[in-house]
Amino acid sequence: MRLCILGAGLTSLTLAKALVNQNIYVDIIQQNKTNLYDQSRTIGISKSNIEFFNNSIINIDKIAWKLKKIEIFSDNLRKEKLINFENNSTQLFSIIRNQSLYNLLEKNLSKSKYFKKIKFSKDLNFLDNYSLVINTDLTNPLTKKYFSRKISKEYNSTAYTTTICHEKKHNDIAVQIFTKMGPLAFLPVSEKKTSVVYSFHHLKNNKFKNVRNLIEQYNYKYKIQKIEKINSFELKSISLRSYYHQHILAFGDLIHRIHPLAGQGFNMTIRDIKLLLEIILNKHSLGLPIDSSVNYEFEKKIKHRNLIFSNGINLIHEFFNFERKINTNLLSRSVNLLGKNSSVNKLFTRIADEGIFI
């Protein structure tokens, strides 16, 4: 059995590694020669997804920085935590640099006889040689032709990412602050470095404020020695209306993109990989063809879950955005009270870890 994956980013390599581990031949078709990520970009992976990654894809413990607590604050309630997610016995979440994971996967796959990289051809007839094609590439002609119908939400925001270098400290607590300018996250990656993601609202008639100054203003725990280069990208939410066309399946960021405030984007993709792998292996064990029927089953089982989860993230964004606009702390106080309820806190933690339970 040989499958084709279009694109060569993190999603493609992760899926490819999961498949070759099952002795499935995988051809990755890439348009660009390189796939470099800036060093400030990180991904958060939940505890259950780390376990799946280690058991079914590749062990990532050496490149993962484990977090035991996530503290959430609001500008309107600065001195009190809104919610405090905590796990004293093991990691609650792990932070990994995009480039470190990419390098690990690429190096490992290059040694596998089941894996091959092929240069993208403008003549798409070669795709007929595969019974199943998985498209993760946002820019190839197939995406524009078959996967352009989607539900989009403009956040009117730009995400700024950087890394702060600071004095050495025990650094296993992530912090999310819902500021007046937008959500700001401090995500530890080592004892001396912390990744920062600041989703900055585009405010009319308001002079742009220096992002470096804002990071320093909201920092309360680090003795900053250096703020590295700041990168940025526009934010929007996307949910694809149809996940497949015949034997071609859209996947990864192509089917869902969400606001980075909860660090759940790549977690959604890992859950998608887990389900897709289950479907393929089940069909293979029964002697059934790995073809367009995989796409139908995948969309039927996961699409509604992804849509509900994406809307949940949008709801959180709009909740704090509304509080920012009306300039009150009543909503933050309500969340603060809910967060003190142990049952509610456990539910929030489980949803962040495992996704929607339907």
Residue-wise pLDDT tens digits, 317-326: 777 676 666 6
CB-count exposure of residue 170 (10 Å: 0-12, 13-18, 19+): exposed
In angstroms, rounded to a whole number, what is the distance separating the alpha carbons of residues 156 and 252? 23
Strands (E), the chain: 2-6, 25-30, 42-46, 65-67, 69-74, 83-86, 93-97, 115-119, 133-135, 150-166, 173-179, 182-188, 193-201, 224-227, 231-240, 244-245, 248-250, 256-257
Q: Are 334 and 82 in contact (CB under 8 A)?
A: no
What is the arithmetic mean of pLDDT over 65-74?
Answer: 87
Residue 248 pLDDT > 70: yes
Predicted confidence at residue 239, as pLDDT, reads: 95
pLDDT of 208 > 70? The answer is no
Query: Which one is predicted more confidently, 276 or 345?
Result: 276
Strand 248-250 versus strand 133-135 pairing type = parallel
Confidence (pLDDT) at 201: 83
> How sure is the predictor about 105, in pLDDT bands with cuts at 50, 70 and 90?
very high
**Predicted local confidence at residue 237, as pLDDT:** 92
Question: Quick one: which of 13, 17, 93, 5 has its CA closest to 55?
Answer: 17
Whole-structure pTM value: 0.89
Tell me the one-letter amino acid at 313.
I
Whether the predicted pLDDT of 302 surpasses 50: yes
Stronger pLDDT, 352 or 216, i.e. the higher one: 216
pLDDT of 283 above 80: yes
Written as one string, the DSSP assignment of 199-217 is EEE--TT-PPPPHHHHHHH
End-to-end CA distance of the chain: 32
Band of pLDDT at residue 92, cut at 50, 70 and 90: confident
Domain CATH code at residue 240: 3.50.50.60
Write out the H or E segment, with its range, that includes residue 268: helix 265-285
Residue 254 has pLDDT above 90, yes or no: yes
Nearest CA-CA partner of 12 in 23, 32, 27, 33 = 27
> How confident is the prediction for the chain on average, in pLDDT?
86
**Cβ count within 10 A of residue 24:** 19
User: How large is the average pLDDT for residues 104-110?
Assistant: 96
Residue 191 reports pLDDT greater than 90: yes
Q: Among the listed ranges 29-38, 151-160, 274-283, which one has the minimum average pLDDT value? A: 29-38
- Higher pLDDT, residue 209 or 60: 60
More confident residue, 190 or 321: 190
The phi and psi torsions of 14 (rounded to 5 degrees) equal -65, -45
Number of residues that make up the chain:
358
The total number of structural domains that make up the chain: 1
pLDDT band at 349 (very low <50, low <70, confident <90, very high): low
- Residues spanned by the domain of 288: 2-354
Residues of the chain above pLDDT 90, percent = 58
- Neighbouring residues of 287: CB distance < 8 A, sequence distance ≥ 6: none
Tokens of 206: 């308001």
Q: Tell which residue, 17, 37, 38, has the closest CA to residue 28.
A: 17
Which whole number is the average pLDDT over 58-84? 81
Using an 8 Å Cβ cutoff, are 357 and 273 in contact? no
Q: Which H or E run includes 324?
A: helix 292-326
Q: How far apart are CA 49 and CA 45, in angstroms?
A: 6
Q: What pLDDT score was predicted for residue 317?
A: 76
Please state the rounded mean pLDDT for residues 178-204: 88
pLDDT, position 205: 43
Is the pLDDT at 337 greater than 80, yes or no? no
* Phi, psi (degrees; rounded to nearest 5) at 244: -150, 160
pLDDT, mean of residues 221-229: 94
Which of residues 106 and 38 earns the better pLDDT score? 106
Which of 148-162, 183-197, 241-255, 310-324 shows the lowest mean pLDDT across its residues?
310-324
Taking the C-alpha atoms of 339, 344, 348 and 351 in order, what is their torsion angle to the nearest 10 degrees?
A: 180
What is 105-164 written as a DSSP string? Answer: HHHHHTT-TTEEEEE--S-GGGGGG-S-EEE--SSSHHHHHHS--EEEEEEEEEEEEEEE
Nearest CA to 264 among 299, 321, 310? Answer: 310
Q: If pLDDT is split at 50, 70 and 90, which confidence band does 261 have?
A: confident
Q: Stretch 78-87: mean pLDDT, rounded?
A: 62
